């Protein structure tokens, strides 16, 4: 158990796996941090666990509980991570945040419950010019978070077979391109079940959306999307709603 550690963000946030960056012109090469973290608990820290320049790590069956910020936070160079069977509960920030160019990571069988912000987030939008890409988010559960699953500035991230229940928004794809959203179940959210906010070419296929305020919401110049074979049941207001310049969608 690692508890009540840290005072700032990033490497001073409590428990950190941090590599060293390359220094141009001085002959210093990048030195990544690596390793595996299993059956551990991170509780009440500034951030539960943080990694930076730490590719190819595995995080398995860990708990991130009641941390002041995010439960798990991976930053620059988080490539080819495997997050399998972890739980993030009661954190004030996101349950799981992979930001600043997170690529080719696998998140499967994780549980994000009652976090103050979102359950699982890929990317951090305008905060970095480097997008999240090629990540797979499969068979995770997000319950009673502000938003369940979020892609914020990314391409080719696949969200498949996840379950989102309760909270403000089910699945949000924000300013992102060509992300398949397939076979997920969203129920009992207070806002949109699936929210496409800007971006282009996203595919929303074979999802089941029950008892949301709006089933599928396409807004702010969302373009070129393909919406097919979804079940949208008992929406409080609209089943499918296009607004604010959405165009060219099928």
Q: Alpha carbon of 170 to those of 13, 109, 135, 249: distances in Å?
A: 29, 17, 18, 21
Query: How many angstroms separate the CA atoms of 31 and 60, rounded?
Result: 24
Within 10 angstroms of residue 12's Cβ, the number of other Cβ atoms is 13
Query: How many angstroms separate the CA atoms of 208 and 232, rounded?
Result: 6
Q: Alpha carbon of 58 to those of 30, 44, 175, 181, 246: distances in Å?
A: 20, 22, 29, 24, 39
The confidence score (pLDDT) of residue 28 equals 66
Report pTM. Answer: 0.94
pLDDT digits (tens, 9 = 90+) for 145-162: 999 999 999 899 999 999
Q: How far is CA 78 from the centre of its chain?
A: 13
Tokens encoding 169: 């928004």
Give the per-residue SS3 of 27-96. CECCECCCCEEECCEEECCCEEEEEECCCCCEEECCEEECCCCCCEEECCCCECCEEECCEEECCCCCCE
The confidence score (pLDDT) of residue 62 equals 98
Query: How many angstroms separate the CA atoms of 145 and 164, rounded?
Result: 9
Q: What is the CA radius of gyration of the chain?
A: 18
DSSP string for 138-189? ES-EEESSSEEEEEESEES-EEES-EEESSSEEEEEES-BS-EEES-EEES-
Q: How far is CA 171 from the centre of its chain?
A: 9
Residue 235 makes CB contacts below 8 A (sequence gap 6+) with 193, 209, 211, 212, 213, 214, 215
Q: Alpha carbon of 211 to those of 140, 183, 193: distances in Å?
A: 20, 17, 8
The confidence score (pLDDT) of residue 43 equals 98
Task: Select from 85, 83, 149, 139 the least CA-distant residue to 115.
Answer: 149
For the chain, list residues with pLDDT below 50: none
Tokens encoding 236: 């409080």
Query: How many angstroms separate the CA atoms of 28 and 22, rounded?
Result: 5
Task: Select from 92, 116, 106, 96 the least CA-distant residue to 49.
Answer: 96
């Amino acid at each position: 158990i690692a508890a009540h550690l840290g005072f700032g963000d990033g490497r001073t946030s409590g428990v950190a796996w941090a590599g060293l960056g390359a220094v141009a012109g001085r002959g210093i090469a990048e030195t990544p941090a690596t390793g595996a973290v299993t059956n551990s608990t991170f509780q009440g820290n500034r951030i539960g666990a943080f990694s930076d320049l730490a590719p190819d790590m595995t995080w398995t069956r860990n708990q991130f509980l009641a941390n002041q910020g995010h439960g798990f936070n991976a930053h620059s160079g988080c490539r080819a991570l495997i997050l399998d069977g972890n739980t993030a509960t009661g954190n004030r920030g996101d349950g799981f945040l992979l930001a600043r160019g997170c690529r080719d990571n696998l998140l499967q069988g994780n549980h994000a419950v009652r976090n103050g912000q979102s359950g699982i987030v890929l990317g951090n939008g305008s905060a970095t010019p480097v997008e999240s890409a090629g990540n797979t988010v499969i068979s995770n559960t997000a319950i009673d978070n502000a938003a369940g699953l979020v892609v914020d500035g990314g391409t080719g991230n696949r969200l498949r077979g996840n379950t989102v229940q309760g909270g403000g928004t089910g699945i949000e794809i924000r300013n992102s391109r060509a992300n398949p959203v397939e076979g997920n179940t969203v129920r009992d959210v207070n806002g949109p079940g699936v929210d496409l906010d800007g971006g282009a070419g996203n595919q929303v296929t074979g999802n089941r959306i029950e008892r949301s305020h709006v089933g599928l919401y396409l807004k702010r110049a969302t373009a070129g999307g393909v919406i097919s074979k979804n079940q949208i049941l008992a929406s409080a207001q609209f089943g499918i709603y296009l607004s604010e310049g959405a165009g060219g969608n099928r």
